[in-house]
Amino acid sequence: MQATLVRACKNNELKQAKSAIDKGANVALPDDSDVENMPMHIAACFGATHVICLLHEHGAELEPKNAKKRTPLQIAERVGEQGSISVLTALIEGKPVTLDGDADDDADDAEPATADPPPPTADAQPSTDAEPITEAMGKLSTEAEVAGTALPATAVD
């Protein structure tokens, strides 16, 4: 059941996550990688906002640290998962979270209704071509970290 929960955390599969928890999957059990991520870390990394809320409802800590001393919020910030950042920040602050959309689909665009991104400033500069590549490399290195896979040293920031 633990593998089903981990898979649901990666894919924002709310029904599968709930079923796994109901059948005994542990929301506080770290994965078997060297990084020892909890389900909350994994859900945060992959933007599984609905699953983050479910894990919280079932007693998962919001700020556990993995073997690299990173919290789920820190991982979400590293990979730029705005939905995860908004949901985790609201939950940590004790604020209610209402999610738009439906889980159990590709929820990368599921944003919490309680968090609107700030509008761009008038002096915002366009990004260079290198910025998206750097961001993508950072996301790859963190996703590999969450999956317990080592990347070549050149790909890690």
pLDDT tens by residue, 131-140: 444 444 455 4
Q: What percent of the chain has pLDDT over 90?
A: 60
- Quick one: angle between helices 82-92 and 49-57, nearest 10? 20
Instruction: Report pLDDT for 101.
Output: 73
Q: What percent of the chain has pLDDT over 70?
A: 64
pLDDT digits (tens, 9 = 90+) for 43-99: 999 999 999 999 999 999 999 999 999 999 999 999 999 999 999 999 999 999 988
Annotate 130-155 with b (16+ C-beta within 10 A) or e (fewer).
eeeeeeeebbbbbbbbbbeeeeeeee
Nearest 5°: the CA angle 64, 113, 16 is 55
Query: Which tokens sit at 66?
Result: 């993995």
Nearest 5°: the CA angle 39, 43, 78 is 115
Determine the average pLDDT of the residues in 10-14: 94
Count Cβ atoms within 10 A of the Cβ of residue 112 and give its class: 0-12 exposed, 13-18 middle, 19 or more buried. buried
Query: Rounded to an integer, what distance in angstroms lies between the CA atom of residue 7 and that of residue 86?
Result: 22
Domains of the chain: 2-115+126-155 (1.25.40.20)
